[in-house]
A and B are shown apart, each in its own frame.
Chain A
Amino acid sequence: AQTVTQSQPEMSVQEAETVTLSCTYDTSESDYYLFWYKQPPSRQMILVIRQEAYKQQNATENRFSVNFQKAAKSFSLKISDSQLGDAAMYFCAYRSAMAGGGADGLTFGKGTHLIIQP
């Protein structure tokens, strides 16, 4: 079974600064997808960014970028120019590219609480 580990329960950053959230995962599969989700107090999980394991290039979405190290099984999220609206829980998630046998759902880490200091 796959596991996702987020070792930082909480991170704090000054507004306009850059912060990096860590995520490692364990899998024996070679093809899979990785995601970062944001969960504000409204509880809705919002997709921030995704990465396909077979792609070498790191994904980027505006102020959000990832550092995907497949050999190290590491998938960190960098948030540049942090804004007050970025404050939320951030979850790293893994999904197999295969179907069935419990592989259909996302496997989430425990989350990192991001605090933005004004």
Chain B
Amino acid sequence: GAGVSQSPRYKVAKRGQDVALRCDPISGHVSLFWYQQALGQGPEFLTYFQNEAQLDKSGLPSDRFFAERPEGSVSTLKIQRTQQEDSAVYLCASSLVWPGGDGYTFGSGTRLTVV
């Protein structure tokens, strides 16, 4: 596609519910990143994929967070047993290659609200 597509755009979940957030990167982009952006803050790195391989998951805040990219294109970020502190915008970004100095192309994010 022409850009990075994320769905849903908004998600309201009851505390304890599981959620799945989808990211469809730009076709052919090897690298894919997930970020969490709390209200009034800058995005924080969660995890990184190179094709289907998850090379870095050091930013995942707990074992309730899980990400996958089984075929090296679409990625899903899953949060189990959601808590109020999980409320944030979840941003996905992709890039053609890594490493490199190119900035990434970001999607418009999914705003998750846990009530």
Contact = CB atoms under 8 A, between A and B. Distances in A.
Contacts of B104: 47, 106
B89 A106 contact: no
15 contacts: A37-B106, A44-B108, A91-B42, A99-B99, A100-B55, A102-B56, A104-B45, A105-B45, A105-B56, A105-B59, A106-B43, A107-B45, A108-B43, A108-B44, A111-B42
Contacts, number: 70
Contact of B42 (A44, A98, A108): A108
A75 interface: no
Q: Would you call the interface of chain A mostly helix, strand, loop, or mixed?
A: loop
Contacts of B93: 45
A43 B40 CA distance: 12
Interface residues of B, number: 28
A102 B58 contact: yes
Interface of A: 4, 33, 35, 37, 42-47, 50, 52, 91, 93, 97-102, 104-111
Of all A-B residue pairs in the complex, the 4 with the closest CB atoms, nearest first, are A105-B45, A108-B42, A47-B103, A45-B106
A43 B103 contact: no
A21 to B, nearest CB: 13
A97 B99 contact: yes
